[in-house]
Structure 1
Amino acid sequence: MRALVARRLDGPDAIELIETDVPEPAAGQVRIKVAAAAVNPVDLAVSAGMPVEFGLTAARQQFGLGWDVAGTVDAVGPTQNDGRKTTRGGRLRIGDAAVGVADLLGRDLKTHAEYVVLDEEAATSVPRKLALTEAATFGLNGLTALQAIKALEPEPGQTLLVTGAAGGVGGYAVEIAKYLGLTVIAAASAHDEELVRLMGAEHFVDRSQDLATAVRRIAPGGVDALVDAAVVGVGAQEAVRNGGRHVHLQGGPRPPHLRGISVKQLFVQANRSDLEELVRLVDAGPLSTRVADVHPLTEAAAAYKRLAGGGVRGRLVLVP
């Protein structure tokens, strides 16, 4: 099969499309024949060596690329259920359309390939309303946003600041927060104001302004909580009230616990329960999907360079 990997860790110019064996699922795993796989900023970071630079995983000869995937289950590991090969509980069977997230940094092969093996807990059935190309775009970003908001333990009516609100994670954080009854202040570029308001933000702050000053004009005492999807750090934390809560997404040093603010550092984890919750939200309507463009796997380098160039709204999707 064909698969995209990074070996030199020099960024998009160094990614390689290789021929390799089709992987076999072990116990508790499923193999998915890939129909679509989104390209995310973390893929650019992995191709540039971020996991090694930040000590998140050891150096190795080859890093697989791709986190999101949608496709069809074509093999399962040896878990037994009534004498048949199925995943535990029979949740996914051969032939089922599935969506999943490959959250392990140090895999030799990941979802930018013709086949991928995932732990069964990292996959679930696709939303009924989505084509597979669309279904490949929400898993990683949606999980990150959902787990960030859960970590904040918010109550309806509280105020949440979301930085990077027009991006993949930030956009889903806005939509989920709105669904949960929070008042959302969105920080993004001026030209994205209409977009984030359509997502559910009640207030907008231009990210080019002094963030804390602008937010405190809207919430003078400071916001109750912060999802720092843009990884602004202390500059965004200054908008949080004393004793508030701050979720910092992985990507640099964790900000200090200033003024009694609780700071939680989040690295996304793929789990079926949260994926199923996202699927329900997609089918019910609160969560949207955005496909910016579709590229064949053979043109993956062009997609990576396009994402690295910035300005992409929605996800670029690779198809084998």
Structure 2
Amino acid sequence: MKAIGFTRHGAPEVLETLELPDPTAGAGEVRIRVRAASVNPVDAIIRLGLFDGMVADDRHPLVTGMDVAGTIDAIGPDQPDGFDLAVGDAVIGFVVPSGSHGGYSEYIVLPSLSVTRMPSNVDFVAGASFLSNALTAELTLEALALPSGSTLAVTGAAGAVGGYLVELGAARGLVVIADAAADDEKLVRGLGATHVVRRGAEFVGDVLDVTDGRGADALGDGAILTDAVLPAVRDGGQIAFYLPTDVRPDRGITPFHSYVMRSATRHDAIERLARMVERGELTTRVAEVYPADDAVAAHQRLEQGKLRGRQILTF
């Protein structure tokens, strides 16, 4: 099968077309003929050699990609209770990249618990655009366990994880205080933000103003600003981080360190998010679409930043 990967770390140009053996579905697994795969920032982190435990060389190519959409073309034995998919069904899946096992592939084998029926109202491109980021946000909100009416501040609210924090937080009845540049304010309000505040140096002061000086009950740091935004959190509040950090909050603030790959088989959450998309309660945002052979160009554009939505590779 064709896959897009690399045998050395570095700039986008290290990406190349690889020929790999077709994978086989084992017990509790399905094989998907991939039609679309998303490009996420973590893919670039792996490509650059900055992800612990993932090292490429000539004998061990790496293939990245965490979100796929396609059709089931093989089903292994011993499926989990409640499994109701068939060969030919359109599905989406969450991928934990490991070695040459990654979403940038024509075929991928996944645990059935990592797969669910594709929302009926989207195509493969949109189907591949949301799962890992929405799951990251969903698991964050589960961990924060904020009661309805609590305040959630969000940095990077126009981005993928930040946008889903806004959308899913609003659906939980939270008062969402989200940052946005002027040209993103309409987008962020449309996702359900209660208050839109300024990005950057003014963010902390704006959050404190909105909360009458108290600070937010919790903060999802989608923009990876870490200690710079801690003053926006109230004493005894919570903050969610999305990259490894040495920051140790004071004032009784509890950190949550997100690592969505540990939850790849959270089928209940994966299914819930897919059905929210199907009901129009959760958005899909596609920034750009590239043929898989143009993955280098996709990664070059990723490095420029300011994307609103996910880039998608098609197979």
TM tier, shorter chain?
over 0.9
| AA at the equivalent of 1:90 | F
Distance 1:190 1:208 in 2: 12
The SS at the match of 2:27 is coil
Shift of 1:175: 0.5
Deviates more, 1:161-170 or 1:124-133: 124-133
The match for 2:37 is: 37
The match for 1:300 is: 295
Q: Deviations over 1:113-152 (max 9, x none)?
A: 1111111111111112111211110111110011111110
The match for 1:210 is: 202
Q: Contact (CA 8 Å) 1:5, 1:109: kept in 2 or not?
A: no
Query: Aligned in 2, Cα 1:23/1:308: closer, same or farther, shift over 3 Å?
Result: same
The SS at the match of 1:226 is strand
Distance 2:255 2:200 in 1: 24
The counterpart of 2:105, out of the listed 101, 113, 131, is: 113
Distance 2:18 2:65 in 1: 14
The match for 1:25 is: 25
The match for 2:74 is: 75
- The 5 A counterparts of 1:1-320 are 1-52=1-52, 57=53, 59-60=55-56, 61-79=60-78, 88-103=81-96, 105-219=97-211, 220-249=213-242, 251-268=243-260, 269-270=263-264, 271-320=266-315
Q: Deviations over 1:144-201 (max 9, x none)?
A: 0111111100111110001110001100110001111101111233321111011111
Q: Contact (CA 8 Å) 2:46, 2:54: kept in 1 or not?
A: no
The SS at the match of 2:185 is helix
Q: Deviations over 1:281-309 (max 9, x none)?
A: 11222210111221111111111111111
Distance 2:74 2:255 in 1: 41
| AA at the equivalent of 1:272 | H
Distance 2:42 2:208 in 1: 31
Q: Contact (CA 8 Å) 2:30, 2:109: kept in 1 or not?
A: yes
Deviates more, 1:285-294 or 1:161-170: 285-294
Distance 2:139 2:187 in 1: 23
Distance 2:303 2:81 in 1: 39
Task: State the number of aligned residues.
Answer: 308
Q: Contact (CA 8 Å) 1:224, 1:245: kept in 2 or not?
A: yes
CA RMSD of aligned residues (A): 1.5
Distance 1:215 1:48 in 2: 35
TM-score (norm 2): 0.94
Distance 1:31 1:88 in 2: 18
Shift of 1:208: 2.6
Q: Contact (CA 8 Å) 2:30, 2:74: kept in 1 or not?
A: yes
Runs (5+) with no aligned partner, structure 1: 80-85
Distance 2:236 2:300 in 1: 42
| AA at the equivalent of 1:192 | D
Shift of 1:88: 4.6
Shift of 1:239: 0.4
TM-score (norm 1): 0.92
Distance 1:295 1:95 in 2: 24
Q: Deviations over 1:255-299 (max 9, x none)?
A: 213101111101002221111110121122221011122111111
| AA at the equivalent of 1:197 | R
The match for 1:82 is: none
Q: Contact (CA 8 Å) 1:38, 1:69: kept in 2 or not?
A: yes
The SS at the match of 1:236 is helix
Percent identical across equivalent pairs? 40
The match for 1:83 is: none
Distance 1:201 1:89 in 2: 36
After superposing on structure 2, the runs of 4+ consecutive aligned residues of structure 1 that deviate more than 6 Å are none
Shift of 1:254: 4.4
